Amino acid sequence: MKRILICGSNGLLGQRLAMMLGHETEYEVLNTSYHRSFVLDNHFFDYTQLDVTNKSDVKSLITSFRPDIIINGAAMTNVDACETQRELAWKVNVMGVENLVEVSRRIDCTLFHLSTDYVFDGKNGPYKESDRVNPINYYGKTKLAGENAILAGGISSTIIRTIVVYGTGINVKNNFALWVVNRLRAGEAIRCVEDQIANPTHVSDLSAGILKAIERERTGLYHICGADAVSRYEFAMKVAEVFGLDASLIEGVKSDTFRQTAPRPMMTGFITSKAQSELDFHPMTATEGLETLKRELLHLTLN
Ligand SMILES: NC(=O)c1ccc[n+]([C@@H]2O[C@H](COP(=O)([O-])OP(=O)(O)OC[C@H]3O[C@@H](n4cnc5c(N)ncnc54)[C@H](OP(=O)(O)O)[C@@H]3O)[C@@H](O)[C@H]2O)c1
């Protein structure tokens, strides 16, 4: 039986991985996250607190659990907060990764790490894995430095870059799709940018891609995202359509309407042919992903 340690299990991706891998009998999974308690039912899932920035805790937990695989979904993901709280962003997104690299080398396990389209400048997406990186905000710089720490560490690793992840979970940070649903349901007008293009990714597609890479024992770099490249405005219009909400509340605007703390890459998106051929990765369209989200939200309400 393979042992898997998940870091960041309280996050959007971490929760989904915990549920997905927790139901697979061939894996023994230990969930970990920064906060002391797990948002999911602790009677079913094994959980312990782990701050990835605490080098000695990382070392002692991992050398005692001895995972075959570590999946690192822990990160400081608030892009604007990373711009202003640089020391903390570097500590979590780079030094935390360095700690995992060091112990992975020691116990000879494979490190699965999540990265982002924000390693690119967004001038000429969609991007393939071999395209030149050039982050334009501090979050992107920390995530790229995390990737480089893994590559320099000479360990067995799989780096998965993804884009605008959406879905639901317990106490998850607001994501774009949920934000649009909640604002439109409240009858509030929203403004969404028409000039930032990317492929929103349903968290279940991302988790399924990671599981495929684990099952096939694939290492290296993979781009994984939803099937459709859309602007935030187009995506919000699809939300309105799928959820039967008032599309007239959505106004399309240019990015320079907003004064965001961190600059955003304008046109990212990924070419996913490597993941399609090597991982048999076939993601949902934006409409299919939103229909899935709608069912998931209904299920949460009914429970
Ligand atoms: N969401 C996106 O749109 C997106 C896009 C591209 C790439 N990614 C990447 O995908 C990965 C997962 O993202 P996500 O959306 O699931 O993020 P998320 O919901 O913000 O979850 C991140 C988790 O990291 C944990 N964490 C933060 N600092 C930690 C520390 N020092 N030690 C241990 N855990 C810590 C937090 O734990 P607690 O809740 O316990 O505090 C949080 O639950 C990240 O690497 C992110 O950079 C995400």
Q: Give the separation between CA 172 and CA 158, rounded to whole angstroms.
A: 25
pLDDT tens for residues 238-297? 999 999 999 999 999 999 999 899 999 999 999 999 999 999 999 999 999 999 999 999
Q: Which residues pair with 158 in a beta bridge?
A: 112, 220
Q: What domain range includes position 49?
A: 2-167+200-227+269-285
- Decide whether any atom of ligand 1 lies within 6 Å of the 226 Cβ: no
pLDDT of residue 259: 87
Q: Give the separation between CA 284 and CA 245, rounded to whole angstroms.
A: 21
Q: How far is the CA of 74 from the centre of ligand 1 (A)?
A: 4
Q: How many other CB atoms are found less than 10 A from the CB of residue 36?
A: 8
Q: Which long-range contacts (CB under 8 A, 24 or more apart) does 271-275 make?
A: 271/126, 271/127, 271/128, 271/223, 272/223, 272/224, 272/225, 273/128, 274/128, 274/129, 274/222, 274/223, 275/209, 275/222, 275/223, 275/224
Give the nearest ligand 1 atom to 118 CA.
6
Q: How far is the CA of 112 from the centre of ligand 1 (A)?
A: 14
In a domain, 294, yes or no: no
In a domain, 293, yes or no: no
pLDDT tens for residues 39-76? 997 678 999 999 999 999 999 999 999 999 999 999 99
281: CB partners within 8 A, 6+ apart: 205, 208, 209, 212, 222, 224, 272, 275
In a domain, 246, yes or no: no
pLDDT of residue 41: 77
Structure-token match 């990373």, residue found: 82
Beta strands in the chain (DSSP E): 2-7, 27-33, 47-49, 69-72, 110-116, 157-162, 165-166, 190-193, 197-198, 201-202, 220-223, 230-231, 250-253
In a domain, 235, yes or no: no
Q: How far is the CA of 19 from the centre of ligand 1 (A)?
A: 16
Q: φ, ψ for residue 197 (rounded to 5)?
A: -115, 135
In a domain, 261, yes or no: no
pLDDT tens for residues 219-250? 999 999 999 999 999 999 999 999 999 999 99
Q: Give the separation between CA 30 and CA 64, rounded to whole angstroms.
A: 12
Distance of CA 211 to the CA centre of its chain: 14
In a domain, 242, yes or no: no
Q: How many residues does the chain have?
A: 303
pLDDT tens for residues 180-227? 999 999 999 999 999 999 999 999 999 999 999 999 999 999 999 999
In a domain, 15, yes or no: yes
Number of domains in the chain: 1
Q: Which amino acid is at 109?
A: C
In a domain, 58, yes or no: yes
Give the nearest ligand 1 atom to 171 CA.
39
Mean pLDDT of the residues in the chain: 96
Give the nearest ligand 1 atom to 96 CA.
31
CATH number for the domain harbouring residue 91:
3.40.50.720
**In a 3-state reduction of DSSP, which class is residue 190?**
strand
Tokens of 26: 């061939």
